[in-house]
Amino acid sequence: MTEIPEDHPRHDSLVTRHRIEDGVDDGITSRQGLIAQGRGEAYDYLLGEETIPSADAAERAAAAQLLTADHPVVSVNGNVAALVPDALVALAAATGADLAVNLFNRTEERVERIADHLREHGASGVLGTKADARIPGLDHERATVDSDGIYDADVVLVPLEDGDRAAALAEMGKTELVIDLNPLSRSAQAASVPIIDNVVRAVPNITAHARDLSEAENAAREECIQEFDREAALRAAEERIRGGMSGGA
Can you say which residues are annotated as belonging to the binding site? 17, 39, 180-182, 186-187, 198-199
Please report, in range form, the residues annotated as the binding site for ATP: 17, 39, 180-182, 186-187, 198-199
Binding-site member from 180, 233, 237, 241 for ligand ATP (CB under 6 A): 180
Q: Tell me the closest approach of the beta carbon of residue 186 to ligand ATP, in angstroms.
A: 4
Radius of gyration of the chain (CA): 17
Angle value at C-alpha 110, between 90 and 161, nearest 5 degrees: 60
163 binds ligand ATP (CB under 6 A): yes
Angle value at C-alpha 226, between 222 and 230, nearest 5 degrees: 135
In the region spanning residues 13 to 52, those forming contacts with ligand ATP, defined by CB under 6 A, are: 36-37, 39-40, 43
Q: Tell me the closest approach of the beta carbon of residue 156 to ligand ATP, in angstroms.
A: 15
Binding-site member from 121, 186, 211, 235 for ligand ATP (CB under 6 A): 186
56 binds ligand ATP (CB under 6 A): no
Q: What angle do the packed helices 53-68 and 218-227 form, to 10 degrees?
A: 130
d(CA 180, CA 142): 19
Separation of CA 243 from chain center: 25
d(CA 98, CA 136): 21
Binding residues for ligand ATP, rule: CB under 6 A, are 36-37, 39-40, 43, 160, 162-163, 179-182, 185-187, 198-200
